[in-house]
Amino acid sequence: MKSSIKIFLAMVTILLFLGGCAANRGIVNLQIPEPNISTNFNGKTIFISSVTDNRIFQQNPISPDIPSLGFGGADNASNDLKKRAIARKRNGFGKALGDILLEENQTVESIIKKGLIKSFHELGYEVIDKKENVKTNTIIVDISIDKFWSWMNPGFWAITLSSEIETTIILMNPKVETKEIYVKSQGNYLLASGENWIKIMNESLQQFNDKVKENF
């Protein structure tokens, strides 16, 4: 009995310590692997016309899977900052604390665009990077990012990290077609370390890559 109480007190101490560390802002760098270029070019070209971050942030959301920001909250944050926000730190009791942001040279839009380019290359498409090179039969693509968020749920012996991506992809030529891509990954960890955040986010990005290829 005494042993169980000691373990419990030790866990509470660790959780309080981690909560203090989590009050600061965290910065992560997400790397999209280079594509495995298909040797079977399908003869089609794609031009990504736009990638737009349409996520909705809330000031005081009722659950951690809804995007939010500390340090003044979402209402006072710039659009540039919101485009880099991908998660919110929490202490061991689930209280929201510091933000997790992409590095200054990255946004959710740039990450998703790079992931799509990887998927299209691996499917055998030629991805055109300049509008003036678009051909009459080029497929034009517009992407709305509806979800791109990771969050933590506390537990007694482990925490759960989850990561979710949802996009609406509109293709034009010869007809207008809409494809919705949704993925979610989660895993149990002892700590919400930067390494584990990156791991769960990379898992969802890989699932996104696979799901795009399944739908094209």
pLDDT of residue 107: 98
Which residues lie across from 99 on neighbouring strands?
A: 88
First to last CA, the chain: 59
Taking the C-alpha atoms of residue 187 and residue 99, their distance in angstroms, rounded to an integer, is: 20
Per-residue pLDDT tens digits of the chain, which is 216 residues long: 544 443 333 344 344 334 444 568 899 999 998 887 766 788 899 999 999 999 999 998 999 999 999 988 889 999 999 999 999 998 877 788 899 999 999 999 999 999 999 999 999 999 999 999 999 999 999 999 999 999 999 887 889 999 999 999 999 988 899 999 999 999 999 988 999 999 999 999 999 999 999 998
Tokens 């809804």 -> residue? 66
Alpha helix (H) residue ranges in the chain: 2-21, 79-84, 108-122, 194-215
In the chain, what are the domains? 2-215 (3.40.50)
